[in-house]
Amino acid sequence: MKHKIIIAGLIITSLFTSCQEDYLDAPAQSTLDESVIFSTAGLAEGAVDGIKVPFAETNSYRGRFLPFYGLNTDIEWYNNSQTAGDAADLCVYDAKPINSQMNTTNNAWAMMYSGIERANICIRGLRLYGDPRPGTDLGYLLGEALTLRAIYYADLIKAWGDVPARFEPINSETIYLPKSSRDVVYKQIIKDLGEAATLVPWPNETAATNSVERINKAFVKGFRARLAMAASGFQQYPDGIHRSTDPELSVAAMYRLALDESRSVINSGKAHLEPSFETFWKKYNQEVTTAGGESLWELPFADGRGRMLFSFAVRHTTNDQFHANGANRGGTAGPLPFVFYDYDQQDTRRDVTCVPYKYGTAVNNIAKQELGALNTWYFGKYRYEWMTRFVTSTNDDGVNKIYMRYAEVLLIAAEAANELEGPAAAAPYLKEVRKRAFAPAAQTVKVENYVNGLTSKTAMFNALVEENKYEFTGEMERKQALIRWNLLKTKLDQAKQKMASLAAHTGEYATVPETLYYKFKSDNVSLDIYGLNRGETTNPGPDYTSVDWTWTGEAADTKINSLYKPGVNPDNRQFWPIWQVFIDGSNGQLVNDYGYSK
């Protein structure tokens, strides 16, 4: 049964009652003695559960951060990027501090700091009163609290760069703080995760770690590896784009840490790839939360909270046989149009990830699939039709957000091993990911020969950049990866050129068919489509209907150019601005860098 993001009882409600109206949204001191709460495992668990509450608040992760952060890369975009407005501005690298989607006192920035303050109170209380040792319930709760705080800080840095660093509960002298270097934050949370890894068990070693909605050692180590790569990567600082100059965050130090941590997870045998890519995503939509498989940790939403399908699923025009979540649900974002054609035709990830149809208006509550357009695709990883629970909420679907999965651990290991030890050391990890992607009959060519041919560091690195694309399209992890590789604008410009070539059916897309043919399968709901694969140009017969599969004219140019706003350099807009309401409420401590203005 899904773990609900709720506060457990009136005691915990009292502990986290808000008393601040400023951007920190700071909880007050508990009316119940913390020495009682944090020395009692049951009460302490309720307090640590309270750290998760801000994830699901209306304008936090649920309704603002997850629906918008990470869009408009070289593989994913907001499907209405060409439509001027504050929603599009968040994606096309032109967000303003007064953005109406974000400039509210209860927005993601405030909710993240609310979560951090909750974590700070728990961490202080557990250390003072709980004797949190490895192998104890209170030790586990400290590890969980440290990890949850690291998640909030990691996402703050990802979205805003340098942010205030607050690792103790607020007092009268620390209500207002200026920004700290993200290097300071990275070092602290990487250290915290090192401690957490000694406190939390591996998946399925305890009742708490039986579910991916609770923190486990495989996730902590994998997450630590991810942060090590990000901390040592390229990123925009106020003085330009470069790697950190802090020797503790050097490539040598951080890649070694990432490799050690990812290998620890791999060698533990406590996580593994689902044998089938499609089966993994079906289980995700079916809300299977058993730990020890591919999903390492999921941001947990109650059944009536969270908008992963609401935002990203294959579009459903109306309520139908699959859901009652409301009209035009899903489809706010999707793969860039060329991504489907960049996959190897034999790659089983392609048809799971890239969907060219939506569900039309239901008749007698039954909706059929309808072909969309060449310039509008949907993420097939998120599907109401794969759920086992019928969603009736009109605002939320309750499906969790996968925060990290084992495939990323393998690709981090490959990247770090390539840098430190060479391509031969990276090869086994890349092969494991690709073996799942291709049928056994194709693996000699597509896995063994392909990977064995990557004999230089550069060739292996470039292959890993592409493999991340094929594995993670639709998961909104690409933006941070492109930034740390110093490839953001390069890859966005390449994507624009690819879309122009696809629209013109020239260059690498010259063999993409310009006509699709379709008929309904025996269920009279699902489409049988011919013409999506290169070379499928012969009319398959009179029982198929033909449609043009083209994208031309001024409308094509406008949408292609909207990947990022014309005149804006994405490398100078790697982060969102701090929203004006938080600037105004900071007592003069917060300012925006990077040339942002109202």
| Terminal-to-terminal C-alpha distance of the chain | 46
Q: What is the band of 205 on the pLDDT scale with cuts at 50, 70, 90?
A: very high
**Closest C-alpha to 247, from 232, 235, 262:** 232
Residues spanned by the domain of 144 = 9-242
Query: Is residue 333 a part of any domain in this protein?
Result: no
pLDDT at 10: 38
At 458, list the tokens. Answer: 């550069």
590 domain-assigned: no
For residue 492 the two structure tokens come to 């966005």
DSSP letters, 568-594, are --GGG-SSPPPPHHHHHTTTT-----T
* Structural domain contains residue 499: no
Q: Measured over all CA atoms, what is the biggest interatomic distance in the chain, rounded to whole angstroms?
A: 78
pLDDT at 139 over 50: yes
The enclosing domain of 230 has a CATH number of 1.25.40.390
Q: What is the model's pLDDT at position 555?
A: 84
Portion of the chain with pLDDT greater than 90, in percent: 91
**Does residue 34 fall inside a structural domain?**
yes
> What stretches of 211-290 show up as alpha helix (H) in DSSP?
217-232, 251-268, 277-285
> Which residue from 157, 109, 77 is spatially nearest to 484, judged by alpha carbons?
157
What is the domain count for the chain? 1
Could you read off the pLDDT of 408-432 as tens digits, one per residue?
Answer: 999 999 999 999 999 999 999 999 9
pLDDT for 67: 97
The yes-or-no verdict on residue 361 having pLDDT over 90 is: yes
Q: How far apart are CA 83 and CA 80, in angstroms?
A: 5
Distances (CA, A) of 488 to 96, 348, 485, 496: 20, 27, 8, 12
Q: CA 532 to CA 65: how far, in whole Å?
A: 34
Distance CA 544, CA 518 (A): 5
Helix (H, G, I), strand (E, B) or coil at 537: coil
In a domain, 62, yes or no: yes
397 occurs within a structural domain: no
User: How confident is the model over 482-515, as pLDDT tens digits?
Assistant: 999 999 999 999 999 999 999 999 999 999 999 9
β-pairing verdict for 545-548 and 235-237: unpaired
What band does 6 get if pLDDT is binned at 50, 70 and 90? very low
Query: Does residue 105 lie within any of the structural domains?
Result: yes
In the structure, what pLDDT confidence band is assigned to residue 1 with cuts at 50, 70 and 90?
Answer: very low
What is the C-alpha to C-alpha distance for residues 108 and 582, in angstroms, rounded to an integer? Answer: 11
Cα distance between residue 532 and residue 526, in whole Å: 16
pLDDT score for 597: 65
pTM for the structure as a whole: 0.95
Task: At 562, list the tokens.
Answer: 């909207």
The tens digit of pLDDT for each residue in 155-197 reads 999 999 999 999 999 999 999 999 999 999 999 999 999 999 9
Give every CB contact of residue 365 below 8 A, 6+ residues apart in sequence.
Answer: 319, 320, 321
pLDDT at 498: 98
pLDDT bin (cut points 50, 70, 90) of residue 304 is confident
Q: What is the pLDDT of residue 553?
A: 85
Structure tokens at 12: 């915990």
Whether residue 357 is contained in a domain is answered as no
Residues 60 and 58: their CA atoms lie apart, in Å, by: 6
Taking only the tens place, the pLDDT of each residue in 58-101 is: 899 999 999 999 999 999 999 999 999 999 999 999 999 999 99
Residue 5, pLDDT above cutoff 80: no
SS (H, E, C) 518-557: EEECCCCCCEEEECCCCCCCCCCCCCCEEEECCCCHHHHH
